[in-house]
Amino acid sequence: MPPRLPIWGAVAIVVVTLLLAWAIIPRLGSPTDKTVADQFPNDQFPSTYRPLPSRPTVIRGATILTGTDRELKNASILMKDGKIEAVGANVPEPPGAVIVNGRGKFVTPGIIDIHSHLGVYPSPSNEATSDGNEATKPTTPEVRSENSVWPQDPGFTRALAGGITALEILPGSANLIGGRSVVLKNVPSVTTQGMKFPGAPYDLKMACGENPKRVYGEKGGPQTQMGNVAGYRAAFEKAIEYRDKWRKYWKTKGDKPDRDIGLETLALVLDKQIPVQMHCYRGDQMATMIDVAKEFGFRIAAFHHATEAYKVADLLKKNNICAVMWADWWGFKMEAYDAVPEGIAMVDHAGACAMIHSDDPIGIQRLNQEVAKAMAAGRRMGYYITRAHAVAWMTRNPAKALGILDRVGTLEKDKMADVVMWDGDPFSVYTHAEKVFIDGALVYDRANPKLSPRTDFEVGQEYNASTGGAGQ
Partner 1 sequence: MKKRVALLALLALPAIAFAQPPGRPRVLQRPTLPRAVTVAPLPFSAQPILIQHGRIYTGGPQGTIGNGDVLIAGGKIAQVGTDLSPPENATIIDAHDKPVTPGLMASWTQLGIIEVDLVAETNDTKPNQTVDSAAFDVADAINPSSTLIPVARIAGVTRSLTAPTDCGEVFCGTAAVIHLGYGPDLLVKRQAGVLVELEPAGGSKQPNTRPDIWAKLRETLDDAREYWAQRAGYHRPGGARDQRTTRIDLDALGAVVRGEEPLIVRVERASTIRQILQYAQATRLKLVILGGGEAWEVARDLAQANVPVIVDTEANLPGSFSDLGATLKNAARLDAAGVTVIFQPQGNDVSHYARTLTQIAGNAVANGMRWDHALAAITRNPAAAWGIADSYGTLEPGKDADVVIWDGDPLNVTSAPAVVFIKGRNIPLVSRQTKLRERYRDLKRKTLPFAYR
Residue 353 CB, nearest approach to partner 1 (Å): 13
Strand duo 322-325 + 354-356: pairing = parallel
User: At closest approach, how far in Å is the CB of 167 from partner 1?
Assistant: 16
C-alpha to C-alpha distance for 64 and 61, rounded to whole angstroms: 9
Of positions 142, 260, 284, 338, contacts partner 1 by CB under 8 A? 338
Instruction: List the interface residues with partner 1, window 157-176 (CB under 8 A).
Output: 158
C-beta of 188 vs 471, nearer to partner 1: 471
> Which of 107, 207, 263, 313 is the binder for partner 1 (CB under 8 A)?
313
Distance CA 200, CA 211 (A): 28
Q: Binding segment for partner 1 among 12-20, 175-183, 395-403, 426-434 (CB under 8 A)?
A: 426-434
Query: Contact between 115 and partner 1 (CB under 8 A)?
Result: no
Closest CA to 43 of 170, 241, 198, 215: 198
- Enumerate residues 353-382 that contact partner 1 by CB under 8 A: 360-363, 365-366, 369, 372-373, 375-376, 378-382
Q: Which long-range contacts (CB under 8 A, 24 or more apart) does 131-137 make?
A: 132/171, 132/172, 133/171, 133/172, 133/173, 133/174, 133/175, 133/178, 133/215, 134/171, 134/174, 134/175, 134/178, 134/179, 135/172, 135/174, 135/175, 135/215, 137/175
Binder among 30, 252, 386, 448 for partner 1 (CB under 8 A): 386
Q: Total residues contacting partner 1 (rule CB under 8 A)?
A: 76
**Residues in 188-247 that interact with partner 1 by CB under 8 A:** 210, 214
Which residues in the 47-76 window bind partner 1 by CB under 8 A? 69-71
Residue pair 375/355 in contact (Cβ under 8 Å)? The answer is no
- Mask 122-161, x = binds partner 1 (CB under 8 A)? -xxxxx--------------------------xx--x---
User: Quick count: other Cβ atoms within 10 Å of Cβ 260?
Assistant: 16
Residues 14-53 vs partner 1: string with x where CB under 8 A?
----------------------------------------
User: With contact defined as beta carbons under 8 Å apart, do 75 and 63 qualify?
Assistant: yes
H helix runs in 163-303, sequence order: 210-216, 225-252, 261-270, 283-296
Compute the distance between CA of residue 398 and CA of residue 392 in angstroms, rounded to an integer. 8
Q: Which stretch binds partner 1 (CB under 8 A): 2-10, 224-232, 266-274, 421-429?
A: 421-429
